[in-house]
Each structure stands twice: as C-alpha cells, then as structure tokens.
Amino acid sequence: MKIKLSDFSVNFVDINPSSSLSIIFLHGFTGSINDWEYIFNYLPTDLRIIAIDLPGHGHSSSIDKVKYYTIEFISRIIDAVTSELELNKFSLCGYSMGGRVALNYSITHQNLISKLILISSTAGIEKKNDQQMRIESDEMLCSMIEKNGIDYFVDYWKNLPLFSSLKRIDSNIYNSIIEQKKQNTSTGLVNSLRGFGTGKMIPMWDSLDKLNLETLLVCGELDKKFININTEMNQKIINSKLRIIPNVGHNVCMENPGELSDLLINFISQKLFRG
C-alpha cells in the first residue's frame, strides 16, 4: 500500500486489518519491510501487523533532500500511516535504526503507544566528541556510496564484524537478504545517514526515565556492545525488561525469528510482565 505525504510516497503493508490489536514494525538501515517477513510467519493471525518502508528504503521515496530523512519527517510518516489506518493505539517495534525511530516517536507520542519493543537499538551517543566522530564516520560511508555505488557498499556493509554471525543462517535466505539490500538506492542510503544516522540523533538518555511505557529491550548474546548499551537503558526506563537471545548477533530478526517472535507474543499478551 502507498500513501502520499506532500511529494513523498510512503510504502507500507497492513496484514490482518480486521484485528483490533495492532503492532507497527520499523526496519534497520539498508533494510525494508521485507526484513520482517520471517517474523510475520510466526505471529498469530489475530494480530494486526503493519510495517513501513522508511525514507530511502524499500519502495518508499528516495528523494535527494535531507529534510525527508529527519526524525521530524519520519514521525510525520508514522502519523500519516496511523491516521490512514485509523489506529488510535498500537504497539511499536523497531530494529536498530528503526528502534531509534521508535524510541524517539514513543517519547513524544506516549498516549498512542501501548507497548514498545526495541531490538538491537540505542538511545543515541551522549558525548559531543563521540557524536561528532560518528557523524564524520558516517560521512565517509556516504562518500563510499556516492563514489562506488550501492552494490559495493552492501558488500562492504555485510562484512562488518557487527553482522558476521548473520552469515550462519541458511545461505538462500542470506543471499536473498543481500539482494534485497541492493534494491535500495544510493541517494536513499546517503540521505538516511545524513538525516538520521546515529551521530545525527539527538541523544535520548535524559528522557528515558520519562518513558512511562512497558518496554521490551532485545539483544543478541554475541552483540556485546549493544548488550552494554541496553543494560544501561534498562536501568533508566521505569517499566522495562531486557531479554538476550542466545547465540545470535546484532540482526536478531534474521538470525532467530522464532525466538524473537515468542518474546513479542508473550510481551504483547502480558505474559512477559507477569513473571
């Protein structure tokens, strides 16, 4: 499905639209709504499932203007989709970059969110110097993409240590993931980094104690950096739980969709917070 927001086209899917319980999924950098199909196979049919292609990804627009990739515009996209679907209350689930979007949106729209799920995500970079270094690092990636093209960049991206454990999944699924990433555009990925890369994100650490939502934080056991980040986030969020999925890395969604789905189902059905 597609809707227009000014001159921007937003692509999303709406599965089981007659169900009253709804959840919105937001993918990570270089991903698309297709990344979630492995999760969707495990979810119950009485759950309304919505997934959005973020700016510059999948079949949403890849306009060469950074303003379309900022958190302000992405929040407008979520507002537009929820308005189109007449959603008054929904759970929100984001992976990596999508988790940063979900956290930002939830802090400013707590009245709309029933539950929040953040997978392999962060509340941003606290120190100014570290933030500037990340911006400069992302700008180097932008130059790589602009100079060498999307195929070269995806081949570089897939070989980062952060995603090394992803190569252990079924080779057909892995190759399909890589090909889907190469369907994105150089313009979209460059502007995504410049508009809402981790360095560009306003740190949300000081707002975590104001987040009055049941929140599930999920990390892979092999993703030590994000375990440390999410352990600290778990200490600051009033009503959160941290779950670490064994023997997987950063891309929990692809590496163990079955166990992640079980966590989501138990969380949404309240079983997780009864324990």
Residue 194 contacts residue 142 (beta carbons within 8 Å): yes
Number of domains in the chain: 1
Q: Count Cβ neighbours within 10 Å for each residue of 107-120 and write b for 16 or more, e otherwise.
A: beeeebbebbbbbb
Amino acid sitting at position 12: F
Q: What range defines the domain where residue 262 resides?
A: 2-274
Q: Specify the pTM.
A: 0.96
Q: pLDDT tens for residues 18-64? A: 998 999 999 999 999 999 998 999 999 999 999 999 999 999 999 99
Residue written as token pair 């994105």: 184
The pair phi, psi for residue 112, each rounded to 5°, is -95, -20
Which CATH number covers residue 106? 3.40.50.1820
**Which pLDDT does position 269 carry in this prediction?**
84
Q: pLDDT tens for residues 141-168? A: 999 999 999 999 999 999 999 999 999 9
Residue 208 contacts residue 237 (beta carbons within 8 Å): yes
Could you read off the pLDDT tens digit of each residue along the chain, which spans 275 residues?
999 998 999 999 999 999 989 999 999 999 999 999 989 999 999 999 999 999 999 999 999 999 999 999 999 999 999 999 999 999 999 999 999 999 999 999 999 999 999 999 999 999 999 999 999 999 999 999 999 999 999 999 999 999 999 999 999 999 999 999 999 999 999 999 999 999 999 999 999 999 999 999 999 999 999 999 999 999 999 999 999 999 999 999 999 999 999 999 999 987 555 44
